Amino acid sequence: MTVDPHILLSPAVTNLRDIGGRATADGGTVATGVAYRSAELSADSVVTDDTLAALGIRTVVDLRTDAERSSRPDQVPVGAELVVLDVLEDLPGGAAAQLPTLLAAGRVDEFASVDMLGEMRSVYRHLVLDESARAAYATFVRTVLDPERTPVLFHCTAGKDRTGWAATILLLGAGVDVAGATDEFLEVNPAVRETFAPLLAQFVGAGGDPDLLRPVLEVRAEFLEAALAAVEERFGSFDGYLADGLGLSAVEVEALRRTLRADG
């Protein structure tokens, strides 16, 4: 069994990964130690965790909603600044967001009529197209390209969807091809499935069909494909997305590439 070299083990946070180390399409390499991704930082032990301390995080970017932050606020590593960017501000809650409430009420039957795959594909299109999402990801990119604010640790709740698109932006911006970015996107699944195993068991225990819920408890290539299709449809290319979607200047795009490349 091949060990994923991007995984960083910490008792304080799950799904912690360095996005660096991947090959770029032109033979270069993405720099390590610049951008990390994870699940939420809600544990008190985050502040004193040795693994996080060793990374020297200067900025934590929280991509979650107000409701998520209020119920499980971030605990920030010593010396790090917190930046809050709600990428779903314009998106009304769908069935997935109602899951805890429906489970508590024993109303799992309501999921039988919901197209969860369709919902997830729609979410990814919103991550690309919504004004709030584009503004948030633009600020995120500008945070990463600022040498005074790296290393950056970015996260949402499980570190799979909002965080997955953020990682994809960085990898494609560094020159990684779509296949390489998709590898990173999918490799969080073991950690994500472990995180959501109790929730899935609760759903099944309440009489729910696990196949109905799995699309929202993991990532799939078709989700990223939906986002990239939205990029092509609206902006023509990923470069067009960076320029017209996120409003980045040519200087900023080049600065991002230099920041993320081990070979400059």
Q: Residue 112 — pLDDT band, cuts 50, 70, 90? A: confident
Q: What is the pLDDT of residue 94?
A: 52
Q: What is the pLDDT of residue 107?
A: 64
Please give the structure tokens belonging to residue 246. 């996120």
Domains of the chain, by residue range, sit at: 17-260
Q: Residue 3 — pLDDT band, cuts 50, 70, 90? A: confident
**106 vs 242: which has the higher pLDDT:** 242
With a cut of 80, say whether residue 37 has pLDDT above it.
Answer: yes
E strand spans, 129-255: 152-155
Report the helix count and the strand count for the chain, using DSSP H and E: 12, 5
With a cut of 80, say whether residue 56 has pLDDT above it.
Answer: yes
For residue 142, the SS3 value is: helix
The highest-confidence range among 86-90, 110-114, 190-194, by mean pLDDT, is: 190-194
Burial class (CB in 10 A: 0-12, 13-18, 19+), 231: buried
Q: State how far Cα 211 lies from the chain centre.
A: 23
Q: Residue 1 — pLDDT band, cuts 50, 70, 90? A: low
Q: What is the mean pLDDT of residues 83-93?
A: 85
CATH number of this structure's domain 17-260: 3.90.190.10
Please give the structure tokens belonging to residue 56. 């020297």
Alpha carbons within 13 angstroms on the beta-carbon side of residue 167 total: 32
- What own/partner pairs with CB < 8 Å and gap ≥ 24 does 69-77 have? 72/40, 72/42, 72/157, 73/42, 74/40, 74/41, 74/42, 74/46, 75/41, 75/42, 75/43, 75/44, 75/45, 75/46, 75/47, 76/41, 76/46, 76/47, 77/46, 77/47, 77/49, 77/52, 77/53, 77/153
Taking a C-beta distance cutoff of 8 angstroms, is the pair 12, 164 a contact?
no
Q: What is the pLDDT of residue 237?
A: 98
If DSSP states are collapsed to H, E and C, what string results for 86-119?
Answer: CCCCCCCCCCHHHHHHHHHCCCHHHHHHCCHHHH
> Which segment of 93-97, 116-120, 248-252 scores lowest on mean pLDDT?
93-97
